[in-house]
Amino acid sequence: MLTHPTHERLIALGLSGMAKAFEEQRRSPDLDALSFEERIGLLVDREAAERDTKRLTTRLKFAALRQSACVEDIDLRTPRGIDRAVFARLVAGDWIDRHENLLATGATGLGKSWLACALGHKACRDNRPVLYHRVPRLFEALALARGDGPYGRLLKTLGRVQLLIVDDWGLAILTAAERRDLLEILDDRHGRASTIVASQVPVEHWHDVIGDPTLGDAILDRLIHNAHRLQLTGESMRKHNARARPLDGASNT
């Protein structure tokens, strides 16, 4: 079938979704039974869906989530201390609209990063800007930006994004520069945006990680007082999944 001039005009106008739907309608005789309004509605719906997909792809690329995780894939049957009702409210995302934080703690292998990325993915799907950083890389980026010039621009990005995910918090005691950077970030975000912190270190030991009593009080005041908490417990998910996965050549039954 030859390309229709209308298809070419839709492409030229940047309406690729409508162009695809237009060609599909030309190839489908079953659509002849639809009214003009119904066929136009299908074209518009396809264009809207295409644009939503492009926006989601852009948000996910910007978010740079460490893991490809979705809330629909979270296994709540494995005992990890996750309250289903609490987690359902976190998935709904109203806490992000209220600029509240989430602190996910627990031993290594319990899925803190995976859960954080799954909530980040859901926030992207809900049209919210998200950004993921591991703490060591975040401070490296800030140190480089301080030397090269775009330090203020990076701080502004970290301050404005609607959901910031800070992973691997507490792996080392902060330096003086890192403490100041963290306070700047959290001060910009306090009452304006939400932050997820994932850490192996219990919250009651975070003062020790910060390494300065005065700045520790200021940082934790901005992070903890309006925060939800997920304290994960139980067996490492890596060990659990390794046991559940059949050996090569073994029967699945």
Give the containing element (helix H, strand E) for 182: helix 176-189
Task: Round to whole Å and give the CA distance between 137 and 224.
Answer: 23
Residue-wise pLDDT tens digits, 4-16: 888 888 888 888 8
pLDDT of 252 above 50: no
Determine phi and psi for 251, rounding to 5 degrees: -75, 145
Average of per-residue pLDDT values in the chain: 87
pLDDT of 239 above 90: no
Q: Could you tell me what percent of the chain has a pLDDT over 90?
A: 61
pLDDT of 251 above 60: no
Torsion, Cα 51 57 59 62, to 10 degrees, reads -140
Residues ≥6 apart with Cβ < 8 Å to 190: 222
Determine phi and psi for 225, rounding to 5 degrees: -65, -25
pLDDT of 1 above 80: no
CA atoms within 13 A on the CB side of 220: 17
Contact criterion met (CB below 8 Å) for 166 and 195: yes
pLDDT of 113 above 90: yes
Angle 75-64-114 (CA atoms, 0-180°, nearest 5)?
15
Residue-wise pLDDT tens digits, 60-92: 999 999 999 999 988 777 767 788 899 999 999
pLDDT band of 214, cuts 50, 70, 90:
very high
Contact criterion met (CB below 8 Å) for 237 and 115: no
